[in-house]
Amino acid sequence: SQKIEQNSEALNIQEGKTATLTCNYTNYSPAYLQWYRQDPGRGPVFLLLIRENEKEKRKERLKVTFDTTLKQSLFHITASQPADSATYLCALDGGGNKLTFGTGTQLKVEL
């Protein structure tokens, strides 16, 4: 069956460092992979989308890589700030905008 794995343990890093979050999947051939941010008590907010034929995508301090051979995506936040503290969800789209979400990784950026 399809499985999406994100690190369930919270990631604590110091302000200014680069945060790297991992999304691994099995038994899936997604056309797209998306990353969302979710703050407590709020709905997810779209951050970045990367297509299966793209290796890397950037947006300001955010960078996403997508390796369809390893079945893995890495999500990087450079020069992290306390305001980046949130849960980050990866979602796979096999087509038709039908997203399957991972469980998310909580990021805490400390001063």
- Chain contacts with other proteins (rule: CB under 8 A): 4, 32, 34, 41-46, 49, 89, 91, 93, 96-104
CB 38 to other proteins: min, Å: 9
Q: Which is nearer to other proteins, 20 or 100 (CB)?
A: 100
4 and 23 in contact (C-beta within 8 Å)? yes
CB 17 to other proteins: min, Å: 26
Q: Which is nearer to other proteins, 17 or 58 (CB)?
A: 58
Q: Which is nearer to other proteins, 62 or 93 (CB)?
A: 93
10 and 87 in contact (C-beta within 8 Å)? no
CB 19 to other proteins: min, Å: 19
Sheet holding 62-67, edge to edge: 3-6, 19-26, 72-77, 62-67, 56-59
Distance CA 25, CA 18 (A): 23
